[in-house]
Amino acid sequence: MELLFLIAGLGNPGAEYARSRHNAGFLLVEHLAARWQVEWNLARRFHARVARFSHQGRAGWLCQPQTYMNASGVAVAAVARFYRVPPERLLVVVDDADLPLGMVRLRPEGGSGGHHGLESVEKELGSRGYARLRLGIGRQPGQREITGHVLGGFSAEEWPRFVPVLEHAAAAVECWLTEGIQTAMNRFNRAVTAPEQRQAE
């Protein structure tokens, strides 16, 4: 039987959230779908958009839960169970306000760090033993309440800095698929410098 992988990018459905910081996970799996030239389909039974992929001998599904962030685990668990994807072949991609904009951090397992999407995945799967890829979105200096910042869109200054993160993180996902989590962590866990910053340095 073919061993399938599942890459779930978390976010909120709807045009109003399309480029919000909280939708960093959605943005990455959309970037991967374009990179791998695969098409999305709405799978109502999973409450998710899914796209079948094949990359360098690895196959599986990209997933965008349509359940809103706080219930992401309902969709992720439904897809994982139907296709018999165990936690060790699951990668969940999320935004992280505790990491500065441009930082990419891959981990093999762990807690939610207060991220409601990861809390939901852990609850529905009954496991913390899945890989997670955190994309830094930063915080507003001096602001304790971050809801507005997280749900807001990337600013005109932030977006050009985030675009290279998508390319870097996509390469990290491909490395995770083909070479494993440790190699991907060693190679890709770092801050990504936008081209404009490199030219200024």
Which are the catalytic amino acids?
Answer: 22
Residue among 199, 193, 197, 11 nearest 102 (CA): 193
Beta bridge partners of 9: 93
Distance CA 36, CA 158 (A): 26
How many Cβ atoms from other residues are within 10 Å of residue 179's Cβ?
Answer: 13
**Integer angstrom CA distances of residue 171 from 9, 49, 124, 158:** 15, 22, 28, 21
Rounded to whole angstroms, the Cα distance separating 133 from 107 reads 7
Q: How far apart are CA 168 and CA 120, in angstroms?
A: 26
97: left (phi over 0), alpha (psi -120 to 50) or beta: alpha
What whole-number distance in Å separates Cα of residue 101 and Cα of residue 196?
A: 15
